[in-house]
Amino acid sequence: MDQSEYLLGHEPVIHRINVRRELDRIKVDPLGELLSKLDADKVKVLSGDFSRYRTAYWFYYLSYARYLPEMSIAARHEKMIPRGKYTETQRKLARSYLTIAPYLEFDFTNLLLHSRILLDRTIALSRSFLTGRKLPSFTSFNDHRKFFQKLKEPFGPHSAYAEYLRKNTDWFEMPLKFVRDKFIVHASPQHMRFLGYPMAEWALDLNIILPDGTPEAPFQKVKVVRVNALRLSLDIQGFLAWFAAYGMQILAGAHNRSLQLSPKRPPGTVDAAWQFHSVLG
């Protein structure tokens, strides 16, 4: 049987993880430069798309800042083989593990929730550069993505954007949306769930086993869904980097075209708004 028929979600991470390096990577927001362009000269009194995104990214980072060190402690504790009495280092590790063990699944769940919130906050920013008669949702990443999956005709000057959402975001559907919707937020089917080490390696993944057999022998056949925190962060980072590059390209095009615009414009329009509409609409 093809493994893809019963093993769903992320591949395991088989190398030891440098937690500090990964957190340094995650802490850098790929949308930093784009936000500075979009949010320039805005009044910062009330909450809006930009402030909500910044808060979402900070919470996303904090969820990783909690889970990855805990994962490292748990993995080292799992591999610890005491010979006789614990050494002082082993005792310190054991105490650390006892402290964090009750929070491992809680913090992993928190990580998944904040990952999804971040994606919802990200697509809200696309209202700054997406134009057209029919527009996607700007509040739900899932609805935003579905709009382009169902779209039959080209999406005007943003066909590349539509194509990317259709072809490069399968990681959102499985495992992030599937696990978040069916096993965290809404009522779930019967299953077994645990944090474990696939291939006895260093990453502590969320594993969900779903019976897929007959009612008489439900576990004769199973499906396994795996979520790996590190791979999820790379999926999201890849999307954010692409989103930032696309937004910067569109804004650069708007700026370059604005230099060539005729001084005649429809009466009652503001310069910047007219230039932006002229380029993208």
pLDDT band at 275 (very low <50, low <70, confident <90, very high): very low
β-strand partners of 196 = 205
Roughly how many angstroms between the first and final C-alpha of the chain, as a whole number?
Answer: 50
- HSE (side-chain half, CA atoms, 13 Å) at 33: 13
pLDDT band at 274 (very low <50, low <70, confident <90, very high): very low
CA distance 256 to 73: 52
| Residue 249 confidence (pLDDT) above 80 | yes
The answer to which of 80-84, 152-156, 248-252 has the lowest mean pLDDT is 80-84
Convert the pLDDT of each residue in 54-79 to its tens digit.
999 999 999 999 999 999 999 999 98
pLDDT band at 83 (very low <50, low <70, confident <90, very high): confident
| Residue 126 confidence (pLDDT) above 80 | yes
Q: Report yes or no: 229 and 115 within 8 Å, Cβ to Cβ.
A: no
Give me 164's structure tokens.
């990317």
Q: Report yes or no: 231 and 252 within 8 Å, Cβ to Cβ.
A: no
CA distance 232 to 245: 20
Span 115-131, mean pLDDT? 96
Span 33-52, mean pLDDT? 80
| Residue 278 confidence (pLDDT) above 60 | no
Q: What's the pLDDT at 203?
A: 87
- Per-residue three-class SS string for the chain: CCHHHCEEECCCCCCCCCHHHHHHHHHCCCCHHHHHHHCCCCCCCCCCHHHHHHHHHHHHHHHHHHHHHHHHHHHHHHHCCCCCCCCHHHHHHHHHHHHHHHHHHHHHHHHHHHHHHHHHHHHHHHHHCCCCCCCCCCCCHHHHHHHHHHCCCCCHHHHHHHHHHHHCCHHHHHHHHHHHHHHHHCCCCCCEEEEECHHHCCCCEEEEEEECCCCCCHHHCEEEEEECHHHHHHHHHHHHHHHHHHHHHHHHHHHHHHCCCCCCCCCCCCHHHHHHHHHHC
Give me 16's structure tokens.
């030891």
> Domain coordinates of the chain in residue numbers?
3-255+267-280
